[in-house]
């Protein structure tokens, strides 16, 4: 009876739909359990002593205070549902766990809009488990890394030879998870998509770690594209202020402001994704320095124009 009362409070009640003692007794009776008010009060006291936060609203009834608010559950549900690296079954299992944290009246509000496309790569959850274990034990990992060809087949890098790297962190960017690793051979950090890593195996020997700032590493990367960071100054039209803050945060270094534009100092990867991001703003953004970035942008623009000319000629 005690567990059935707990189940009722978990599934059938919330702060907007409390259960009166008489309703609890009636529900128990439907399950073939006899009860009276005094025994229900006693069972609720036992549950409270066991740590369950059962609240009472005068003239309304009992309800269980949840570990998460409905707004928090909604954010978690939508975040999980939008991850294309999870299979449909994995996303459904996650959502089922979240549904257990609210009443049946709230559950319909936790139906995420699932993406039509889902990646069919490696088992990301299994990979996360392996990497978290390696992080705890301070050991290297071995794995194979692949790309997907135009024929939708896996093509392994390094002629299917394994990578052996020292994992430092897991990071999420653009709906994907990456493992940031250190290479003792190249003496540097790089990152790898979890959904393209296979056959992860842990090595046995613990190793010392060198200093690593994940926040700085992420800030210097753009779209998790691997390239050397560049110190740059950009001039943005004032209308792009919110766009700049959304991308780089409100603590971005602004060195000059006028009624028309503002200058920003950045140090990040000047990779193709970053150039593409700049292209979309047209004349509303200018590269002030360095000259090498101006040249890189010009070459990218000229290459795009040549591609259009070749298409027209063809």
Domain boundaries, the chain: 2-64, 70-110, 124-212, 229-312
Q: How confident is the model at residue 312 (pLDDT cuts 50, 70, 90)?
A: low
> Per-residue confidence at 28, pLDDT binned at 50, 70, 90?
very high
Average pLDDT of 145-171? 92
Is the pLDDT reported for residue 303 higher than 70? yes
Structure-token pair, residue 256: 């000059």
Can you tell me the distance from the alpha carbon of 254 to that of 264, in angstroms, rounded to the nearest whole number?
Answer: 5
The CATH architecture annotation of domain 229-312 reads 2-Layer Sandwich (3.30)
Asked if the domains at 2-64 and 229-312 fall in one CATH topology, the answer is no
Among the ranges given (52-56, 207-211, 241-245, 307-311), the one the predictor scored with the smallest mean pLDDT: 307-311
- The pLDDT-based confidence of 314 (bands split at 50, 70, 90) is low
Residue 307 has pLDDT above 90, yes or no: no
Structural contact between residues 294 and 285, judged by C-beta atoms closer than 8 angstroms = no
Q: Check residue 268 and give its pLDDT.
A: 87
**What is the predicted pLDDT for the residue at 218?**
81
Instruction: Identify the pLDDT of residue 81.
Output: 82
Average of per-residue pLDDT across 204-209: 94
Q: Is the pTM of this model over 0.75?
A: no
Token pair for residue 138? 């301070």
> In this predicted model, which residue has the larger pLDDT, 229 or 20?
20
End-to-end Cα distance, the chain: 79
Length of the chain: 314
Question: What's the pLDDT score for residue 311?
Answer: 62
Neighbours of 194 (CB within 10 A): 26
Does the pLDDT value for residue 241 go beyond 90? yes
Q: How far is C-alpha 240 from the geometric centre of its chain's CA atoms?
A: 26
Give me the mean pLDDT over the 199-213 stretch.
Answer: 94
With a cut of 60, say whether residue 67 has pLDDT above it.
Answer: yes
Note the pLDDT of residue 152: 82
Give the mean model confidence (pLDDT) for residues 280-287.
95
Statement: residue 103 has pLDDT above 90: yes
Give dist(CA 286, CA 303) in Å, integer: 19
Q: Comparing 84-93, 101-110, 135-144, 275-284, which segment has the lowest mean pLDDT?
A: 84-93
Chain segment 255-271, per-residue pLDDT in tens: 999 999 999 999 988 88
Name the nearest CA neighbour of 87 among 129, 117, 112.
117
CATH hierarchy code of domain 2-64: 1.10.10.10
Q: Is the pLDDT of residue 35 over 60?
A: yes
Contact 76, 113 (CB under 8 A): no
Give the percent of the chain with pLDDT over 90. Answer: 67
Q: Which residues lie closer than 8 Å to 57 by C-beta, 6 or more apart?
A: 15, 18, 63
Given this model, what pLDDT does residue 88 score? 80
pLDDT tops 70 at residue 87: yes
Mean of pLDDT over the chain:
90
| Residue bearing the bigger pLDDT, 269 or 50 | 50
For residues 203 and 215, what is the distance between their CA atoms, to the nearest angstrom? 27
CATH class of residue range 124-212: mainly beta
The Cα 203–Cα 226 span in angstroms is: 26
Contact 158, 140 (CB under 8 A): no
> Mean pLDDT lowest for which of 54-58, 301-305, 309-313?
309-313
């Amino acid at each position: 009876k005690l567990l059935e009362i707990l189940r009722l409070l978990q599934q059938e009640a919330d702060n907007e739909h409390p259960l009166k003692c008489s309703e609890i007794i009636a529900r128990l009776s439907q399950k073939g359990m006899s009860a009276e008010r005094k025994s229900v009060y006693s069972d609720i006291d036992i549950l409270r002593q066991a740590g369950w936060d059962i609240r009472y609203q005068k003239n309304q009834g009992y309800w269980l205070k949840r570990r998460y608010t409905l707004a928090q559950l909604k954010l978690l549900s939508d975040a999980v549902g939008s991850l294309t690296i999870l299979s449909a079954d994995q996303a459904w299992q996650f959502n089922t766990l979240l549904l257990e944290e609210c009443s049946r009246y709230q559950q319909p509000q936790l139906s995420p809009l699932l993406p039509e496309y889902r990646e069919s790569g490696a088992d990301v959850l299994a990979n996360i488990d392996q990497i978290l274990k390696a992080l705890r034990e301070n050991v290297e990992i071995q794995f194979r890394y692949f790309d997907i060809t135009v024929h939708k087949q896996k093509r392994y890098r390094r002629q299917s030879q394994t990578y052996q790297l020292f994992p430092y962190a897991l990071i999420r960017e653009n709906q994907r998870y990456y493992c940031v690793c250190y290479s003792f051979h190249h003496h540097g950090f790089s990152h790898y998509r979890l959904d393209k890593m296979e056959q992860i195996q842990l090595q046995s020997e613990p190793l010392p770690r060198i200093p690593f700032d994940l926040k700085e590493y992420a800030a210097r990367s753009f779209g998790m594209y691997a390239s050397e960071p560049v110190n740059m100054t950009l001039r943005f039209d004032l209308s792009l202020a919110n766009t700049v803050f959304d991308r780089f945060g409100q603590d971005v270094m602004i060195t000059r402001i006028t009624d028309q534009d503002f200058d920003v100092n950045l140090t990040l990867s000047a990779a193709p994704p970053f150039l593409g991001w700049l292209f979309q703003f047209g004349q509303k953004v200018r590269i002030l320095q360095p000259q090498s970035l101006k040249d890189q942008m010009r070459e990218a623009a000229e290459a795009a124009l040549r591609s259009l000319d070749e298409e027209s000629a063809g």
